[in-house]
Every structure is written in structure tokens, then in C-alpha cells.
A and B are shown apart, each in its own frame.
Chain A
């Protein structure tokens, strides 16, 4: 999400699952859809079936997705940027560019600051001490009129296109092979297939997941593909897009609703401690258009923000107190992500932890550190429908949890919760569909909904503040809590609050004498939001999900006129029930569909019309208002300005633990802008001691750490194993089904060995690289056999932008061992 927003304007999958059937080419790279998303994968088989679409899989392993692919190309994990910049270079060199699209809808022609540059693997402004950039020069050249300068002919040496062309020129097929280990002929075949999709009548879809995010430069992996898709003209069209496959049924909902330490609902950002008042906060969030006539929709930021504050604190949020701005927490660091939280715990600076729907002990990197950190807590609260390893981190389970319970003083509270099938609410899927669900069963024992637990906590805290007082009690005491049963807010009450309502009668802007929306009524959508405190809305992008017409998320209309895959009457998609984001880009500058057979939205002479809700003002003149309405330029960004911490273009960096040095800049270890804690640097391993390139992943038989509690799933994939190729097995004397010990600089685990032809030795920079695959589903609770997970081995470092841990590329050693005595 951290890469799509700086590129297109929104951090979300651009198309929908059902739209994938419209594509001509599916590229699965940075994911394994057949394995991790078998149900969504049906749309790939549909595309193959309906349109004769081809499937390309690029992965270190020959995966279940590869088993049904038309072409498989191996790649060393952690080198996707080199590969993709290689493809971009191929497309530019071979004129595989959708020129009209690039000229019209991207920032290719905008001129970049003269000071900006790139050399020796670094962009301008790097500070090695801080491991960060001064991003001042990562900007456009601005004209006298306050708008960015542009050269529509793409001739100017400082225009984005020419800088991009130069930036990618080093990524030749030879260099790609040297870095990635991908055979040149296979790579070129992939390029050829992708290049065909630059035609206006062919589209390609990119399906990816944690295979791209779980790297120290995860956001840039995705950026590289997003840029390629722009060059091919595949964003905003049917069968195209950047399709971020979410690994949980509601993880899109998690980011939408702002469950990140630096976010508020609807991708509003938490203020920093330097922003001491609302005006200061708003001063960097004005989002004035960078080109004339553009919507730059974030200009409405204040409406969203004030409405959110009204939803939080109701009547207590007034214009006089800046809508309770002071009651928001202010960040003193960029974020309190999980890695920082556990670092603080580990340092003894965080004493209590609420773990709601997370199995930290198996999910977070460097398990030994996690165990030590949890052991230093005073209290740990677990809210989960299942027994988790985290709840039992203090319990000795032999080698599978080798702790001394008597030395751990942490008090653990387990609050059993309902699971999704036992409560009511909505789940937001990858394609941004909010789908309402109803309970299918009664919760067992004392299990309570998360809403009930949170409400009870709130009421008790409030009572304590009322009785005893305390510093800054207002945010708790004055929280707007307008629920029928204050002890148990209902799902539909919360959904209505997210949608928003009129706080006062809202006058019609066109005719102030007329009341447009009466006080207390549900709002029809975010266009009705105001910044004067007269509207309340818990999450502006969700506005429209529960209107006066009822619960839109509960809609179940299966009709799909002309089989476009839109299914506009099924559930509700944010924003405004638009199914394909930036859908105005499905037509050319004049508003005529690029591809008549796959038309989506077009200009009928007076307005935008088509199969989807226009993702633009319905009367926005074609040729004037550009499709990427969230971006201040109106166009999509090949050059991402200051949106990402490590550069406006992606550049190849090795993982922090890599079998070879960075051939472009041997001095640089990992991503130069990624945050590394001091204690963790000492725990990075080197190829001399840990020669094999490891990666971690899911198996289709299981869902994370849940299904090992299910007898049937446990029987289908009963025991922890690691996968290696036949060459390595032969070299090390490892037998299929035999026992091995896998170790990294941070720990070691015991596993069964699966020896396979599906993993082959790669040659990278002249060196043989063997790959070790480590799936993640085992622990010491549940029905399956006790086992380990990859997090006993993985390094404590994350993506530079959102700190997703680097689970996909690290170093290990592997040895055959004798099995346990039966």
C-alpha cells in the first residue's frame, strides 16, 4: 500500500478479483496465488479459459501457481527490482510502450529538479549516519504560475521519461541474469510476452502478495511493477491493474480503517509532535493541484479530518477547540510499528501489550528476541478465538518452546473472542469490497465479540477516570458513545458511524434556503462531507456503505450486465462503489475506449458513462481533468517525488542477508534507507557461515496458524518441513523425508526435508546459489504435529516505508541430522 498510494494516489488493489477474468496475461510474481489464494485463483483459470490468457510465474520456486502456468521463470528472492527494471528497459528499448497513455496519463513529461540525481546506488541527499535521505531535490521544477513544468514532447533531458530511461538503461538482460540468476532466454521470453501487452487491445494483470512486501524494499518491488503497468497502459482498464492480494479476509479493512500506528481511518495521518495545532497540521496537507484544472482530491483533507473528529468526540469537538485536535496522539517517531514495539519491549521500555488477533510469537521475526521481549512485560492481554503460541509463550514445550516458565513473570490474560463466523459485520476484501456477513454459529463458552470486549474496557476506563481523574482525561471521558447498549455496540451501529451522518441540517450549497440532508440522517457519500463540523464520518472512504437506503454492504445482486465482471450490485466497494480505480484511464484523452471490446467508462458527449461508477467528476471534461484524481498532478507517477523513503525510482538493493554482494554498489548492505536497530545489526549473518538463500511462505493446506487447530487441515499437511533442491540434497547427503537442522545467525530449527526438482540451483554473479524454502504453519498448539516456523531464523529488519519484516530473503545453513528417538 505504501507504493501504490505514491504512484496512483490510493493504496489499494486497483481492480477486483472478478475482473481478473478479463485479462490477456497474468503475471504472478511476488506471490503464489494458487497456493495462498486458491479461491481467487479461479479468475485466472477463467481468463485462461475465456480469453486464452497466458499465465507467467516468476518465483524462486516452481510453485503450485507455476504448475498451471504457460511459462515459469526462476528468480533469486530479493532481486525483483532488478528483474522488473530490466523488463522496463526492454520495453523502452523495443518500443513496447503505450505511448498515448504514457503521454496523457503519467508524469512522464514533467520536469524534475536539476539537483536530483543518482550515482553509486544512491539518490541525492543521502545521510549515512541517519540511514535516511534529505528528499528536497526529489521534486518537479516549478513554474511562475505555481504549477510544475512540463514538456509534452518528452524531449527535455530533465523530464521524468528521460530520467527513467537513463535510470533503467543499466538493467540489461545480462545484468538481470547476473543478479537474479534468471536464465537470459527465459527472461527475454517473459519480456516478449509482457511487451505484447503495450498494445491498446491487450492487457496484463499483476497479481502479487507478500512475496513482494516482505522485503526491506518491499514497497519499491511493487513500485517497479506499477511503473511497468503504467508504461503498458494497464491501469484503470479491465483486465489490468496492480492486484495486491491480501492474505487475510479483512487486511484491506485493517489499513482502510487506520489500524497502523501512524494512520487514522481513510489514510489520514496521525499528527507528529511537531504539529502542535490544527493549522500547522493542515499546512502540509493542502494538496494544491500541481497542474492546472486537476481535482487533487486530497484538497478535501480537512473535510475528512474534521468529520472524523466529530465521529470521535461528537459535540465535544468544536471549531473553538480545533475539533479536539489536541486529543489526538502525536507521534515522536515515524511509527510505532510491530518491530519498534517489540524493540521497546525488549529494551524494557514497554510494559504492557494488547495482542488482538495476532500470534506474535510465530509472526514476528527473530523469535528468540520476541520471547525475551514478552518475558519482560508486566502484562500481556490476548484477544483471540483460538489458543495461540503467544498466549503460551511462557510454557515449556521442549525444543519447540524451550523456556523456563519459573523465570517469566509476565501476567497473561486470555480473552476468548468470537471468530468471523460467529459474529456480524463486514469484511473488506482485496478488491475493496465491503461484504456484510451474518453469524453462522453460536460462540462457544465465554467467547465475546471484540466489540463487547473493547466497549467493556472503555466503560471501565471511563469510570476510573471519572472517579480518580488523571492527566488528559478528556479523550476518554468525551468519546462519543452513542450506542443503544453502551456495553456492546452493534455492528450496524458502528458501520453507520463509519459511513457518517449529518450533525446539523445541511443546506444545499446551490440553494442555501433548501435543506439537502436533514440532521441525523445518514450521508449518501463522502462528497457530502464538510469541514465546519456539520458532518461526522468515521472513515471517509467508507462513506456510502450504509446510507439512508440501507446497508449497501449487504447487497447480494449477482447480475453482471454484459459479463464485464463488475458485479456493481454485489456488496459495496470503496470509494463510492467504484469497482476499478482510475477507470477514466480506460478511455483515451478524448474519452473514447482504448479497446472497444473491453470498454469500461467513456465520455458520451456530456458526461462519463459506462459499466462502473466514474472515478472522476461525472462531468469532468476529457482532455482537461486527468484520471488520477488523488494525485496533485492528476497523472500517475513514474517518478514518485518524495513519496517513498529510498527514492523516487526503485533501484536494486540486495536483502540484508544475501548470498552475493550488491553488484551495482558493493559497499551498500541491504536497503540504505531501511531502519536497523543497533542490537540487530550484530545478528545479521554472512554467506561464509550461512551460505544458502532462504525464503518463507504459506501452503495451501493451511491458513497461517489457525488451521493447525483443525483436524482435517492438520491431516492434509501434518508436519513441519523445509524444501530444498536435489542438487543441494545430494551435496549435503540429505534424503527426502529425512531430518535436517536449519540455522541462521539468530536461531536454529529441526525439520523434515522435502527434496524437490521444483527448486533448482541458480547462478548469481558467477556463484551457485541454493535456495531453502521454509513454510510457516506449525507451532506447539493445535492438532498438527509440533514444529517450528521460519521466524526462529528471520532477521529483525523491515521495509523502509512500512516496516514489513524481511521474511522472504535471508541466509541459513542446513545439515542432515539424526531424527529424534521414537
Chain B
């Protein structure tokens, strides 16, 4: 058993990290923090998960969110997909192992992976809407979010969802509020089989090693850790029985990376775009200088009034 995190002291506690620990801030820069927090990670052991959805319930409870009562669409997946309220969902895949011809029911808890190189943050045009702390947690700051949805484009895992209520983007925060006072995420706390454990990234890697050894002893030769290098690793990692083919776990990307479009657009594209904007400003100014301002003639006014009357 991974040593459980002790229950919290009930007194008011000062958060263990905050804005002074930011290492990245969307569409803006941050001063280099004076300290480096120990990187944290959540390890999801797919081979221990029984798909009970306690994590989903705990997530809704802790964040005080409610998912609508949907319908059955022919599977156990409910809700069917991530929503602004359901920041995590279980994805169930029935997979016949071609090597053994036996059925495997792969159950993967989906949600934000907290990439070391977060595509969402990279893509975000709103200053300070997405931040990353030096412990690895990627968080959305809703008061700065403009609801453009670029974070969804930027995410290699298709995680954020825009709320129609406040038109801002939502995703798992890794329970940054709980972690800040020494607790693990709510999903980890609720998981009955320790399929979800939480600690420092090093601890999680060491724990995963032992799990992988056990799985290999049970015949899963390709068992391994999912900590994809394409995004410089993640702070939510999976133990997979078939780490050679992540895609069988409800389309978990084999080699996730930030879309080249986002790279291009935030790199060269961004400057090219800025150039185009500058050019059009120059062109407008030139037009004004050479042609003078546009004026509304009397004829224009009359035509407009006629049109308005017709329509009303």
C-alpha cells in the first residue's frame, strides 16, 4: 500500500505555493521564481482501476460541480465525454488482445495530464488565463479567460471544455487548492484500490517501477509508464499494461506533442500576423492621408431609412 496522505489539520492553513511560484503565464512573462518546488505527480495505474467512478464523484463533490443526468448511449461511459463540470471521466474500452485472443476491459481515467510543456498555455492568447507552477501544476485562472477555446486546440489530449454559463475554459486543476495545503487530489483520496496515487514525481516513478515489475511477472511484457517525452513528460502519468500501444486505451495519444499549428502560430506565425496587422494600420493611415475621411452622403441616409422602414 502506498503510504496514505494523513488527514489535514482542521485549522486554517497558509497555501504552500502561489503566484510567486509561477514558471509560465499565458501570453505574458513571469519573473524567475526564487525557489523551485518539488515536482508533484498523480499516477494512475490502469491495471488496478476497477472503473468505479469514485474519482468522478469526488471531483464533482470537491469542486462543487454537478453534471446533468444524461442518458445511456449503449456503454458504461457517463457522462460520455469531459464537460465543463466533469473534469475527469472514465473511458471504457473492450479490447481483444490479438496475441492471447482474450478480452481485456481497459478502463482509463481521462483528464488533464498537466504537461511539463503545456500546449494549452502555449496557445492561450489571454494574459494570465493559464499558469504553470514550478511543482508542475497547470491551472486555469478564470477571471483572465476570454473563452476563445484556443487551449482546446493547443491541448494534445483534447481536455479543456468551454462553459456556456460563464464562457470560460475548464479542466482538472490537479486540486491545486488541496495540494497547496499538503493534501492529494480529491480523486486520489476517493480511489478505493489505490489505482490513483499522488506524491512527488520521483516517488511516483519509483512506485510505477514496482507496479511494472509486477505486471511483467503476470505476463504483460510491454507494461510501462506513460510519461510522454513529446510534451517533456507529464505530471499525471499512467501505468499501462500495454505501454507499447497507448492508443488502445480510448485513443490515448501514442506520441503527444503540441500541434505544429500552435507552434507556428505562436512562433513565426505570431510575428507574421503582427506584421499583417501593422501593415493594415499603415495602409489605413495612408488612405486617410491621401483620400481623406469617409463621409456619409444625404443619399446614403435616405436609402438607409427606406431600408429600415421596409424591414420593420
Cβ contact within 8 Å between B74 and A753? yes
A292-330 to B contact mask, C-beta < 8 Å, 1/0: 000000000000000000000000000000000000000
Within 8 A of B (CB), among A160-198: none
Interchain nearest-CB distance for A233 vs B (Å): 26
> Is residue B168 contacting chain A, with contact meaning CB distance below 8 A?
no
Within 8 A of A (CB), among B18-52: 47-52
Cβ contact within 8 Å between A68 and B74? no
Cβ contact within 8 Å between A737 and B73? yes
Candidates A46, A735, A785; contact of B71 at CB < 8 Å: A785
Complex Cα spacing A738 to B75, Å: 11
> Is residue A721 contacting chain B, with contact meaning CB distance below 8 A?
yes
Cβ contact within 8 Å between B66 and A718? no
Within 8 A of B (CB), among A684-735: 700-701, 711-721, 735
Complex Cα spacing A718 to B57, Å: 13
> Is residue A397 contacting chain B, with contact meaning CB distance below 8 A?
no
Q: Which residues of A contact B298 (CB under 8 A)?
A: none
Cβ contact within 8 Å between B50 and A68? yes
Interchain nearest-CB distance for B85 vs A (Å): 9
Whether A700 touches B107, Cβ cut-off 8 Å, given contacts A38-B193, A783-B69, is no
Cβ contact within 8 Å between B69 and A718? yes
> Is residue A549 contacting chain B, with contact meaning CB distance below 8 A?
no
Cβ contact within 8 Å between A757 and B73? no
Complex Cα spacing A802 to B53, Å: 34
> Is residue A745 contacting chain B, with contact meaning CB distance below 8 A?
no
Candidates B50, B71, B105, B195; contact of A62 at CB < 8 Å: B105
Whether A784 touches B69, Cβ cut-off 8 Å, given contacts A716-B78, A757-B96, is yes
By beta carbon, the residue of chain B nearest A37 is B192
Cβ contact within 8 Å between A45 and B48? yes
Q: Which residues of B contact A72 (CB under 8 A)?
A: 102-103
Cβ contact within 8 Å between B105 and A700? no
Q: Which residues of B contact A720 (CB under 8 A)?
A: 72
Interchain nearest-CB distance for A139 vs B (Å): 46
> Is residue A600 contacting chain B, with contact meaning CB distance below 8 A?
no
Whether A45 touches B194, Cβ cut-off 8 Å, given contacts A715-B78, A754-B74, is yes
Complex Cα spacing A468 to B103, Å: 70
Whether A718 touches B192, Cβ cut-off 8 Å, given contacts A67-B50, A67-B107, A700-B52, is no
By beta carbon, the residue of chain A nearest B45 is A45
> Is residue A758 contacting chain B, with contact meaning CB distance below 8 A?
yes
Cβ contact within 8 Å between B1 and A46? yes
Cβ contact within 8 Å between B193 and A758? no
Cβ contact within 8 Å between A700 and B69? no
Q: Which residues of A contact B217 (CB under 8 A)?
A: 52
> Is residue B61 contacting chain A, with contact meaning CB distance below 8 A?
yes
Q: Which residues of A contact B75 (CB under 8 A)?
A: 736-737, 754
Complex Cα spacing A738 to B71, Å: 11
Interchain nearest-CB distance for B169 vs A (Å): 21
Whether A712 touches B74, Cβ cut-off 8 Å, given contacts A38-B192, A64-B52, A700-B52, is no
Cβ contact within 8 Å between B74 and A34? no
Whether A757 touches B94, Cβ cut-off 8 Å, given contacts A42-B193, A46-B1, A737-B72, is yes
A46-85 to B contact mask, C-beta < 8 Å, 1/0: 1011001000000000101111101010000000000000
Cβ contact within 8 Å between A736 and B74? yes
By beta carbon, the residue of chain B nearest A62 is B103
Cβ contact within 8 Å between B53 and A700? yes
Candidates A67, A715, A716, A755; contact of B74 at CB < 8 Å: A755
Cβ contact within 8 Å between A712 and B61? yes
Within 8 A of B (CB), among A606-648: none
Cβ contact within 8 Å between B192 and A49? no
Cβ contact within 8 Å between B1 and A721? no
Question: Binding site of B, secondary structure by majority: helix, strand, loop or mixed?
Answer: loop
Interchain nearest-CB distance for B1 vs A (Å): 6
> Is residue B147 contacting chain A, with contact meaning CB distance below 8 A?
no
> Is residue B254 contacting chain A, with contact meaning CB distance below 8 A?
no
Cβ contact within 8 Å between B74 and A64? no
Cβ contact within 8 Å between B71 and A718? yes
Cβ contact within 8 Å between B105 and A715? no
Interchain nearest-CB distance for B273 vs A (Å): 42
Complex Cα spacing A713 to B57, Å: 7
> Is residue B214 contacting chain A, with contact meaning CB distance below 8 A?
yes
Cβ contact within 8 Å between A757 and B103? yes
Whether A41 touches B193, Cβ cut-off 8 Å, given contacts A65-B50, A714-B69, is yes
Complex Cα spacing A756 to B76, Å: 10
B55-75 to A contact mask, C-beta < 8 Å, 1/0: 011001100001111111111
> Is residue A39 contacting chain B, with contact meaning CB distance below 8 A?
yes
Cβ contact within 8 Å between B218 and A38? no
Complex Cα spacing A452 to B311, Å: 73
Cβ contact within 8 Å between B214 and A721? no
Candidates B47, B61, B67, B72; contact of A719 at CB < 8 Å: B72
Complex Cα spacing A643 to B48, Å: 41
> Is residue A752 contacting chain B, with contact meaning CB distance below 8 A?
yes
Complex Cα spacing A738 to B50, Å: 26
Interchain nearest-CB distance for B244 vs A (Å): 20
Cβ contact within 8 Å between A42 and B69? no
Whether A718 touches B53, Cβ cut-off 8 Å, given contacts A38-B192, A757-B103, is no
Complex Cα spacing A715 to B79, Å: 7
Complex Cα spacing A735 to B72, Å: 12
Complex Cα spacing A46 to B48, Å: 10
Interchain nearest-CB distance for B5 vs A (Å): 15
Cβ contact within 8 Å between A716 and B57? yes
Q: Which residues of A contact B50 (CB under 8 A)?
A: 34-35, 38, 41, 64-65, 67-68, 700
Q: Which residues of B contact A716 (CB under 8 A)?
A: 53, 56-57, 67, 78
Cβ contact within 8 Å between B78 and A48? no
Q: Which residues of B contact A62 (CB under 8 A)?
A: 103, 105
Q: Which residues of B contact A52 (CB under 8 A)?
A: 214, 217
B169-198 to A contact mask, C-beta < 8 Å, 1/0: 000000000000000000000001111000
Cβ contact within 8 Å between B192 and A41? yes
B198-228 to A contact mask, C-beta < 8 Å, 1/0: 0000000000000000100110000000000
Q: Which residues of B contact A715 (CB under 8 A)?
A: 60, 66-70, 78-79
Candidates B51, B72, B102, B195; contact of A754 at CB < 8 Å: B72
Complex Cα spacing A737 to B1, Å: 39
By beta carbon, the residue of chain B nearest A752 is B72
> Is residue B231 contacting chain A, with contact meaning CB distance below 8 A?
no
Cβ contact within 8 Å between B60 and A712? yes
Whether A68 touches B69, Cβ cut-off 8 Å, given contacts A41-B192, A752-B74, A758-B103, is no
> Is residue B54 contacting chain A, with contact meaning CB distance below 8 A?
yes
Complex Cα spacing A52 to B213, Å: 11
Q: Which residues of A contact B94 (CB under 8 A)?
A: 756-758
Q: Which residues of B contact A721 (CB under 8 A)?
A: 72, 74
By beta carbon, the residue of chain A nearest B89 is A716
Q: Which residues of B contact A757 (CB under 8 A)?
A: 94, 96, 103
Complex Cα spacing A66 to B192, Å: 17
Q: Which residues of A contact B102 (CB under 8 A)?
A: 72
Q: Which residues of A contact B214 (CB under 8 A)?
A: 48-49, 52
Within 8 A of B (CB), among A26-46: 34-35, 38-39, 41-42, 45-46
Interchain nearest-CB distance for B215 vs A (Å): 10
Complex Cα spacing A712 to B67, Å: 7
Cβ contact within 8 Å between A718 and B73? no
Q: Which residues of A contact B57 (CB under 8 A)?
A: 712-713, 716
Complex Cα spacing A39 to B70, Å: 26
List A residues at the B interface (Cβ < 8 Å). 34-35, 38-39, 41-42, 45-46, 48-49, 52, 62, 64-68, 70, 72, 700-701, 711-721, 735-738, 752-758, 783-785
Q: List 7 A-B contacts (CB under 8 A).
A: A34-B193, A35-B50, A42-B192, A701-B78, A718-B70, A719-B70, A785-B71
Given A711-B69, A715-B66, A716-B53, 15 extra CB contacts under 8 A: A34-B52, A35-B50, A41-B50, A42-B192, A49-B1, A62-B103, A67-B107, A700-B52, A715-B60, A715-B68, A715-B70, A716-B56, A736-B73, A737-B75, A756-B94
Return the 9 tightest CB-CB contacts between A and B, nearest first: A736-B74, A737-B74, A34-B50, A67-B105, A719-B72, A715-B67, A757-B94, A752-B72, A38-B52
